């Protein structure tokens, strides 16, 4: 079970029967607004309140990498494009939809909806 605290800390609870173990996986120092697992559960996207997107890879000793950082407006949401976990899509508050390469954060495509977006 993965969950986050407002302070930007990602936690993992390993639950087995009535026993559990809690582990701090990452501290990104920014409030996290959402967590999204890739379809194959190998990568977790962390979207912050300040518009930054991080990837977290549990199998790689908990490697957390800043993937995207806000430029002109904050990222409101991000998710994986399926099948696979090679690409993600994001939307900004200003209505810009972007497709990103997860490997290095390269923006591959964008579309402006010309409308402000709300959750």
Beta strands in 1-119 (DSSP E): 2-5, 9-16, 19-27, 32-37, 44-48, 53-57, 63-68, 75-81, 87-92, 96-101, 107-112
CA 78 vs. chain centroid, Å, equals: 6
* pLDDT tens for each residue of 35-77: 889 888 888 888 887 778 888 888 776 678 888 775 555 777 8
Phi and psi based region of residue 29 (left: phi greater than 0; alpha: psi -120 to 50; beta: remaining): left
The model carries a pTM of 0.74
Q: What's the DSSP call for residue 59? A: G
pLDDT digits (tens, 9 = 90+) for 83-105: 878 898 888 888 889 898 888 88
Q: In the chain, what are the domains?
A: 2-112 (2.120.10.30)
């Amino acid at each position: 079970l993965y969950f986050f605290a407002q302070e930007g800390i990602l936690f993992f609870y390993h639950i087995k029967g009535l026993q559990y173990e809690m582990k701090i996986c990452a501290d990104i120092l920014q409030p996290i607004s959402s967590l999204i697992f890739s379809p194959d559960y190998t990568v977790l996207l962390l979207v912050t309140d300040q518009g930054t997107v991080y990837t977290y890879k549990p199998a790689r000793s908990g490697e957390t990498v800043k993937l995207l950082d806000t430029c002109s407006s904050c990222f409101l949401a991000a998710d994986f494009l399926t099948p696979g976990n090679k690409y993600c899509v994001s939307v900004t508050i200003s209505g810009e939809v972007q497709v990103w390469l997860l490997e290095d954060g390269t923006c591959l495509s964008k579309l402006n909806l010309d409308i402000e977006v709300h959750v």
